[in-house]
Amino acid sequence: MFGYFSAAKRFLKSLSSGRRPGDRGRLIVRVVAREEANALVAAEIAALIRARTAAGKPCVLGLATGSTPTGIYAELVRLHREENLSFANVVTFNLDEYLPMGPEEPQSYHRFMHEHLFDHVDLRPGNTHLPDGMVPVGQVTDACAMYERQIREAGWVDIQLLGIGRTGHIGFNEPGSAADSRTRLVDLHETTRLDAARDFSGEANVPRTAVTMGVATILEARQVILMAFGEAKAAVVARAVEGPVTSAVPASFLQTHPNTMVVLDEPAATGLAR
Ligand code: GLP
């Protein structure tokens, strides 16, 4: 009974605040089956691409790697093949890349993007951008500044896709990353290196550093979509969505962003209290 009344009260309160039940702070949280999540997010991206194309304007996508977004890329490729979705007007910026990492190496994010998306749609080669994993350490600062400049000159990111690491990282912004951090060289957390070990046949082979867009760079996107699937992400999702905004959990900074949607499957949502 009490549960019913408090749920009803929450619902009415959410109506009066202009937000929908399920909203967390400024975050909009959707819990759906993984297939549905992929279709939902891909449809959102496709709608924006089509609207921009119709208006004769480019559409700037911020892209993520990892196992989480692969279904979205597969759905975007399907929309390209079967429903005429053209990427001719799309400009992309990826979040991050290991350093050092050659673009053809099996674990490189360059290669990942080609395999999952770039090679299967009509994106113009000059319109895709990833941090350079081969840049000499002495030139990283300049390369990062150039990446920021390219994003700015493209008119900033329209939709930024994000996964989340078990450390609470977005891109490779590990715990300790500041809200005003920019594209830069970072050290990878031990947990992140451990999680990547399967791709590198052992933790010893995982690079210790990477280049990542900063938290501030990510927060400049007009819209952010963070996705997480599976029980292994439940604890960190709860800290990011319902915990305090803190650099100890960089994903929690998304709570300060005006237009962020968090798309979870049931297992990833099990840690949420509200
Ligand atoms: C890597 C990437 C992140 C990604 C994370 C989670 O660390 N740099 O951008 O969000 O992995 O990966 P997965 O989606 O495989 O769980």
Residue given tokens 């700015």 in the structure block? 152
Q: Which amino acid is at 253?
A: F
pLDDT of 161 > 90? The answer is: yes
pLDDT recorded at residue 26: 81
Q: Contact 85/46 with Cβ under 8 angstroms?
A: yes
Tell me, in angstroms, the distance from the centre of ligand 1 to residue 1's CA. Answer: 42
Answer yes or no: are the C-beta atoms of 262 and 242 closer than 8 Å: no
Q: Residue 109: is its pLDDT beyond 80?
A: yes
Q: Choose the residue to mutate in 65, 199, 265 for probing ligand 1, maximizing ligand atoms within 8 Å of C-beta.
A: 65
Buried b (16+ CB within 10 A) or exposed e, 188-225: bbebbbebbeeebeeeeebbebbbbbbbbbbbbbbbbb
Compute the 3-state secondary structure of the chain and give helix, strand, coil in percent, each to the nearest 5. Answer: 45, 20, 40
Determine the distance from the C-alpha atom of residue 240 to the mean position of all C-alpha atoms in its chain, rounded to a whole number: 14
CB 90 within 8 A of CB 123: yes
Mean pLDDT of the residues in the chain: 93
Calpha distance 67→87 (Å, rounded): 22
pLDDT, tens digit, 9 for 90 and up, residues 174-208: 999 999 999 999 999 999 999 999 999 999 999 99
Mean pLDDT (whole number) for 38-46: 98
In this predicted structure, the answer to whether residue 145 has a pLDDT above a threshold of 60 is yes
Pocket flag, ligand 1, residue 173 (CB < 6 Å): no
| pLDDT bucket at 274, cuts 50 / 70 / 90 | confident
151: CB partners within 8 A, 6+ apart: 60, 93, 157, 213, 217, 220
Q: What is the spatial distance between Cα 271 and Cα 154, in angstroms, rounded to a whole number?
A: 38
pTM here is 0.91
Residue type, 11: F
pLDDT band, very low/low/confident/very high, at 6 (cuts 50, 70, 90): low
pLDDT value, residue 31: 97
66 CA to centre of ligand 1 in angstroms: 4
79 Cα distance to chain centroid: 20
Q: What's the gap in Å between 164 CA and the centre of ligand 1? A: 6
pLDDT per residue as tens digits for the range 206-228: 999 999 999 999 999 999 999 99
Lowest average pLDDT, out of 22-31, 189-198, 251-260, goes to 22-31
What is the mean pLDDT of the segment spanning 45-74? 98
The confidence band for 116, taking pLDDT boundaries of 50, 70 and 90, is very high
Share of the chain above pLDDT 70, in %: 91
Q: Is the pLDDT of residue 47 over 90?
A: yes
DSSP letters along 102-118, please? -TTSTT-HHHHHHHHTG
Is residue 252 scored above 90 in pLDDT? yes
To test the pocket of ligand 1, the residue of 68, 96, 99 to mutate (highest count of ligand atoms within 8 Å of its CB) is 68
Distance of alpha carbon 129 from alpha carbon 254, whole angstroms: 23
CB distance 132 to ligand 1 below 6 Å: no
Q: Is the pLDDT of residue 22 over 90?
A: no
136-155 average pLDDT score: 97
Q: Is the pLDDT of residue 17 over 50?
A: no
Cα–Cα distance, 60 to 150 (Å, whole number): 11
Omega of the bond prior to 100 within 30 degrees of 0, cis? Answer: yes
Flag whether pLDDT at 261 surpasses 60: yes
